[in-house]
Amino acid sequence: MGKKKLAIISSYNELCGNATYTYVLQKEFSKFYDVTVFPLNQFFLRSTSKKVKKLGDEHIKEIAYELEKFDYVNIQFEAGLFGIYKKDIVRRFEILTKASQNLIVTLHRLDIKKDLYLTTFLKSLLSNRNPIKTLKEFKNKNYFASMYEDIINIIKDYSYKKPVKVIVHTRREKRNIKAFFSFDQVYDHPITFLTRNEINFFKDRAKKMKSKLFKKYNLKENHKLIGIFGFLSHYKGHITAIKALENLPDNYKLFICGSQHPQSINIFEDVNPYIKELTEYIEKRDKENIKQSRFFLKERLLSIHQLEEKLLKNRVIFVGALNDEDFITYLNLMDYVVLPYLETGQSGSGIAALTLETESNAIFSNNYAFMEFKKYTGDAFEMFDIGNYLELANKIKYFEDGKYKEAIQEYYNNYNIHTNIYLYKRLFEENN
């Protein structure tokens, strides 16, 4: 008897966290099932053109037609992968759900409505604000919350007819789905990527690449490397990391490993606004440093070489986009990995997961996603308040090497790619 057939619907073979995660799932699931990945065509699905949107719908219908051949289906649900507008995302999701025989939906995020219309209306009257404008603002804020409500209700409705389950990445999301939607077929597991053999492979690769990295960026043995990873977006908190760097000795360097998100590239745009913000901040601070150092240069209390060492342009290194192998290798090469994110409402972070799997010295901001992650990891990483660059600088400067190794090992023993796959496998097969 041949292997059961599993379809995974997600982004694939592109610069995207979901695509990387899907590749890992496909690789590990292939040990048990005959796996096919159906990549979501982002050009069709994210277009606002009526003609191209129709092609997007046809693309979804073509996938749905193929799903009847599969025993199991997994939808990696990130709203933006299915479209820009709520009605398109919900419609396309239902087409795929209806066509699946035995379905697990992996929700990478869940927004819950935060308020009531009546409460918002009364608050606006009491504060002398325009109530109509206030209600419009409320509706915009709850736009995606109402979309997730539709998604969960579709899942719930179809679960009465066939096996449909949900996997989320935090206990909070699991609790919220049960409480707000009275749906019990929901399970939680943090994002995972690497097997033990892969962890060891990337450690060895990093050791071999270290001398090449130091030569490429003219680094010295006394230099301390701080890494911040992922697409260059405002919520990643790069400015916080740069300000922290300014409050550390000159031998600390900040490696910004990541590039502009492909979906933020605009025709004829000279430079992405956020990249411009980062580079202009660096240039402004360097001009101020040069101005303040003139006296010390004149009195020979500071050399040109020492001034060069202080300048941010020589301490902040934009690495650019990395393929998956180099991304994980660079995580291993850093002395510290910082994720100074703002609060975004996200449920999980693939970069945070990889940071712990590579056993890096990790320092994350106090946002809700990382607080939830800590419920699985225990004391496996340091935390600091969002935007507090002085606290971040101190956490880096006084970081105790090896302090979190035991907690990281315990976390990995409990939550890894094998326990993750086992959860999916158990949920798929319990209805056989």
Predicted confidence (pLDDT) per residue in 46-104, tens digit: 888 889 899 999 999 999 999 999 999 999 999 889 999 999 999 999 999 999 999 99
Q: What's the pLDDT band for 140 if we cut at 50, 70, 90? A: low
CA dist 92 and 215 (Å) reads: 50
Task: State how far the Cα of 337 lies from the Cα of 340, in Å rounded to an integer.
Answer: 10
In the numeric block, the tokens 């935060």 are attached to 114
Per residue in 338-360, pLDDT (tens digit) is: 999 999 878 888 999 999 999 99
Between CA 37 and CA 22 the distance in angstroms is 8
Q: What is the pLDDT of residues 149-199, one digit of tens each?
A: 999 999 999 999 999 999 999 999 999 999 999 999 999 999 999 999 999
* Bridging pattern class, strands 186-188 and 316-320: unpaired
pLDDT confidence band for 290 (50 / 70 / 90): confident
Of 146, 85, 154, residue with least CA distance to 115: 146
Whether 105 has a pLDDT exceeding 60, the answer reads yes
Same fold, 5-189+416-429 and 196-414: yes
pLDDT at 310: 85
Q: What does the DSSP assignment read for 81-100? A: GT-SSHHHHHHHHHHHHHH-
CB atoms within 10 A of CB 167: 21
**Given a cut of 90, is residue 254 above it in pLDDT?**
yes
- Which region among 80-84, 295-299, 313-317, 419-423 has the lowest average model confidence (pLDDT)? 295-299
| Euclidean distance between the first and the last CA atom of the chain, given in angstroms as a whole number | 15
How far apart are alpha carbons 316 and 319 in whole angstroms? 9
At 184 the pLDDT is 96
201-211 burial string, b = 16+ CB within 10 Å, else e?
ebeebbeebee
- Give me the torsion for CA of 385, 78, 85, 185, rounded to 10°: -100
Cβ burial of 402 (10 Å; 0-12, 13-18, 19+) is exposed
347 burial class (0-12, 13-18, 19+ CB within 10 angstroms)? Answer: buried
Q: Would you state the pLDDT for residue 49?
A: 87
On the 0-12 / 13-18 / 19+ scale of CB atoms within 10 A, 284 is exposed
Specify the CATH class of 196-414 in words: alpha beta
pLDDT tens profile 210-239: 999 999 999 999 999 999 999 999 999 999
Residues whose CB falls within 8 Å of the CB of residue 224, separated by 6 or more in sequence, listed in order: 248, 251, 252, 253, 335, 336
Choice between 126 and 204, residue whose per-residue pLDDT is larger: 204
pLDDT at 271 over 50: yes
Alpha-helix runs per DSSP H in 217-298: 238-246, 273-298
Interacting residues of 405 by C-beta distance below 8 A, sequence separation 6+: 359
pLDDT in tens, 399-429: 998 889 999 999 999 999 999 999 999 999 9
> Which pLDDT does position 306 carry in this prediction?
78
CATH architecture designation of domain 5-189+416-429: 3-Layer(aba) Sandwich (3.40)
Name the average pLDDT for the chain.
Answer: 91
H-state helical runs in 299-333: 304-310, 324-333
Is the predicted pLDDT of residue 121 greater than 70, yes or no?
no
Residue count of the chain, please give it.
432
Whether 43 contacts 52, CB under 8 Å:
yes
pLDDT at 48: 86
- Is it the case that residue 26 has pLDDT exceeding 70? yes
Please give the average per-residue pLDDT across 127-145, as a whole number.
62
pLDDT score, position 118: 47
Residue with tokens 């990249």: 275
Domain map (residue ranges) of the chain: 5-189+416-429, 196-414
**CA–CA–CA angle 420, 424, 427 (5° rounding):** 135
pTM: 0.90
Q: What is the pLDDT of residues 351-394, one digit of tens each?
A: 999 999 999 999 999 999 999 999 999 999 999 999 999 999 99
Question: 């979190």: which residue's tokens?
Answer: 404
Predicted local distance difference test score (pLDDT) of residue 137? 55
Sign of CA dihedral 241, 243, 248, 250: positive
Q: Would you state the pLDDT for residue 345?
A: 79
Query: Alpha carbon of 124 to those of 113, 120, 139, 167: distances in Å?
Result: 18, 6, 14, 38
* pLDDT of 117 strictly over 50: no
What is the per-residue pLDDT for 298? Answer: 66
pLDDT value for 229: 96
pLDDT of residue 358: 96
